[in-house]
Structure 1
Amino acid sequence: MSDDALITSLTAALEARPDDLTLRLHVAGVLVDLGRAADAVPHVGLVLARDPGNQAAQGLMRRALTAPAPGAGPVGPPAATTAGPAPDDPLMAYEQELSDVVPPRYVTGEPPPGAPPVRNRAGDLPEPVRGDGDVESSKVRLADVGGMDAVKERLELSFLGPLRDPELRKLYGKSLRGGLMLYGPPGCGKTFLARAVAGEMGARFMSLSIVDVLDMWIGNSERNLHELFQTARRNAPCVLFLDEVDALGQKRSQTHSSSMRTVGNQLLAELDGIDADNEGVFVLAATNTPWQVDPALRRPGRLDRMVLVLPPDAAARDAILRLNLRDRPIAGIDLPRIVAATEDFSGADLTHLCETAAEYAMADSMRSGKVRMIGQHDFDRALGEVRPSTGPWFATARNVAMFSNEGGAYDDLVAYLKARKLLR
């Protein structure tokens, strides 16, 4: 086999398995041996970006950097410099020297500049993804989430527990792929809870909304969605959060736009992991209107579990109020009284209540010219103005619980409404 045929064959194999770092290092070594060190550098750079401590990659990078250019004479040792990283850290020196070719170590999960492009099945290069698909590391933990004990227990059984105990997971054959849909009134902490799950498991967190996906050109929306899922797979274990999933996965029978139907079909395919393995990608979706989500999304293997996220209970309201008042000047606040008066308030409503009370105290201070503390009378005024925003949602949810609870999908909602005597 000729050298060109060998490289072509290896490149084709690498395009089919772009995340295989061992294969990528092998391709880079062959390129260096054939005198094509410049072509090998991007491959080694990608391996080092994913695995900075890879000794084989570091050695191969040294070979590629010191290899003579085609047609050039012997290359002597590089000239000493007075500035830059210490001589005992060659990896940092390489990164600085090749900053235009090899990017610094990163956490976004996106391929570095210079990495071989991933082609689709037709061999065409994908267009740049709308929405950068940023991957972040969350510092929030479940302990930072007030209340929601039932939700935390469900998350522990579904993903967190199996992740912490790989031996037990292997014994029971529990997969790390899966999905869960959080639903409930707006402002009750669904997004915050998703970040807490990512922080609890030490995983990356990636939020995906409709603006990251939709594109005016036919086919680009589906391509964007695929690339965003690919980013999550490259960063596994990763929590992929689908905010307002009803916008992307609304009932196809009620969708009049053919483009939105195809986006919904693409979302189903990505959740199934047809073209790639979703192992280690835990999909959390959030919606205020689960009854508008396509039933196919809730099929087993996709978003097969639904968890009701309710307004905070008394203990959670106490914690949220204390958090909002922690850095504000307060005096004489009757916290139990405020907690009792805010039974149907969401977390966002409680934050708004504290903001309103602070506004009253600040306005009084500006009028009098004397700074004063936020007092209980400010909260009494605020409670007369701020109303819970969850009422309209429960009015709609009540009708769904009464007339659209096919298969018991909303049994937890029915139980809550009956406990609150909102449903007979």
Structure 2
Amino acid sequence: MSESPLITSLRTAVEAAPDDVPLRLHLAQLLLDAGHGQDAIAHVAAALQREPGNADAQALMGRAVAPPAAPASYDWKLAENELSEVVPPAFVQSEEAAAPPHPHAHPPLAADGGDSDDGSLWEVETGSIKLADVGGMHEVKERLEAAFLAPMRNPELRKLYGKSLRGGLLMYGPPGCGKTYIARAVAGELGARFMSVSISDVLDMWIGSSERNLRQLFETARRNSPCVLFLDEIDALGARRSQIRHTGMRNTVNQLLTELDGVNGSANEGVFVLAATNHPWDVDTALRRPGRFDRMLLVLPPDQPAREGILHHHLKDRPVAGIDLAKLAKRTDGFSGADLQHLCESGAERALLDSVRTGRARMIEMSDLLGALDHIRPSTGPWFTSARNVAQFANEGGAYDELLAYLKRKKML
């Protein structure tokens, strides 16, 4: 079948710009209309590898794999039957060496019913995971143990050394690295209940409502003590007041400071406040004074054991064969947990699209994941670029010494 000059020109253009998804989809559309179905599928698959959520590519793939006049359609039921014997899959390592759970999975936690009588809208959960459930991240665990958990577990020793429980812990680092999961694990270590709150849960368009929400939030935590109260996106909830002088957010920050000071009172014993941010340099300095968030903990991208656990988690319920988790973990240094999840999704997609093209279901193989890895870069790069400038030129009081040490170790300075 002859090829039109337009298609030939578009082929040349796509070869020169392989990452131009709209251009590739336009070529695929023309190929499909011209009867070049398999060629069109190959280009749509390449587009989906670059943009898995592209709705136009997904719709075009649906047309390509199941055209009305196709002699045979893909038998999904047959594929399920062919793969049913290998789910869950057997990895290359023995079951005894199976990787631990990863620090980004969120197992369902039972909602606590202790607050139902007072009609509170805040969800109170029961801490059911512990730090042992967090794969790798040994330095983070040691810091948590020394700075936060050990004094709380040993009241007599705390009394002997005059160690105060005043103040909270501020976790910071690039997005997608497990700060929320670690907060849940802290609650489990303390045998405490857990409340997770983000800025969208607190802010309200009506004047005074945001402050009232904060007050009710802390009151709920105190009624459910011992309780770990986790404030996510604290940089948005507690932004620098110098930058929001003329907005209603200033009053919200003041209310947060008031509530944090209230937690330090003897009447509020048993409420432990943790917070997380990707941008600690945007947090109001008053929030980091002694008695508030006076301790900072850097949560970095998962180390190699943690990466292996994350990969295992995202592949364990998929049909896989010949997967070398250790090799993948070694090649994904600097990847966040979210990046690793995306890698597994992309590898699975490559195998699925290949199965659709050939009409035969096959396993997800190491080549699929390595092929996807060629097109994925760590999303943590931009964060480290910003953090490097702050750590080098705005490291007041040594707040970012830990970050500086990491940047030097990774030769990012």
Fold match by TM threshold 0.5: yes
- Preserved contact between residue 177 and residue 282 of structure 1 (Cα < 8 Å): no
Instruction: Find the structure with the greater CA-based Rg.
Output: 1
Matched residue SS, 1:378: helix
How many corresponding residue pairs? 302
User: In 1, Cα distance between the equivalents of 2:135 and 2:263?
Assistant: 38
Residue aligning to 2:363: 373
Cα distance, 1:166 vs structure 2: 3.1
Cα distance, 1:375 vs structure 2: 0.4
Corresponding letter in the other structure for 1:408 = G
Alignment of 1:320-399 (within 5 A): 320-399=310-389
Higher RCO (CA 8 Å, separation ≥ 6 residues): 2
- Preserved contact between residue 344 and residue 390 of structure 1 (Cα < 8 Å): yes
Deviations 1:341-395 (A, max 9, x none): 2111011111111111111112222333322111011011110122110000001
Residue aligning to 1:95: none
Matched residue SS, 2:181: helix
5+ unaligned residues in a row in structure 2: which ranges? 1-110
User: In 1, Cα distance between the equivalents of 2:394 and 2:164?
Assistant: 32
User: In 2, Cα distance between the equivalents of 1:270 and 1:401?
Assistant: 30
Residue aligning to 2:117: 112
User: In 2, Cα distance between the equivalents of 1:325 and 1:411?
Assistant: 37
Cα distance, 1:177 vs structure 2: 4.5
- Preserved contact between residue 159 and residue 282 of structure 1 (Cα < 8 Å): no
Match 1:304 to one of 289, 294, 309? 294
- Stretch deviating more after TM superposition (193-202 or 387-396): 193-202
Residue aligning to 1:416: 406
Match 2:307 to one of 313, 317, 320? 317
- Preserved contact between residue 167 and residue 264 of structure 2 (Cα < 8 Å): no
User: In 1, Cα distance between the equivalents of 2:362 and 2:139?
Assistant: 41
Q: Percent identity?
A: 66
Q: 1:286 to 1:275 in 2, by over 3 A?
A: closer
- Stretch deviating more after TM superposition (176-185 or 384-393): 176-185
5+ unaligned residues in a row in structure 1: which ranges? 1-105, 114-127
Cα distance, 1:111 vs structure 2: 6.0
Alignment of 1:24-39 (within 5 A): none
User: In 2, Cα distance between the equivalents of 1:111 and 1:372?
Assistant: 50
Q: 1:270 to 1:108 in 2, by over 3 A?
A: farther
1:279 maps onto 2:269 in alignment: yes
User: In 2, Cα distance between the equivalents of 1:274 and 1:167?
Assistant: 21
Corresponding letter in the other structure for 1:235 = N
User: In 1, Cα distance between the equivalents of 2:184 and 2:147?
Assistant: 16
Cα distance, 1:334 vs structure 2: 2.4
Cα distance, 1:286 vs structure 2: 0.4
User: In 2, Cα distance between the equivalents of 1:373 and 1:111?
Assistant: 47
User: In 1, Cα distance between the equivalents of 2:228 and 2:366?
Assistant: 41
Cα distance, 1:242 vs structure 2: 0.4
Cα distance, 1:209 vs structure 2: 1.2
Cα distance, 1:337 vs structure 2: 2.3
Over the residues paired in the alignment, what is the CA RMSD in angstroms?
A: 1.9
User: In 2, Cα distance between the equivalents of 1:110 and 1:175?
Assistant: 29
TM-score, normalised relative to structure 2 = 0.69
Residue aligning to 2:253: 264
Corresponding letter in the other structure for 1:110 = D
Alignment of 1:60-71 (within 5 A): none
1:147 maps onto 2:136 in alignment: yes
Cα distance, 1:199 vs structure 2: 1.5
Q: 1:345 to 1:415 in 2, by over 3 A?
A: same
Deviations 1:110-164 (A, max 9, x none): 3615xxxxxxxxxxxxxx97xx211001322111212222221222223322333
- Preserved contact between residue 177 and residue 278 of structure 1 (Cα < 8 Å): no
User: In 2, Cα distance between the equivalents of 1:400 and 1:326?
Assistant: 40
Deviations 1:154-206 (A, max 9, x none): 22223322333333334334444431000000001111111111122211000
Corresponding letter in the other structure for 1:232 = A
Q: 1:400 to 1:283 in 2, by over 3 A?
A: same
User: In 2, Cα distance between the equivalents of 1:188 and 1:361?
Assistant: 27
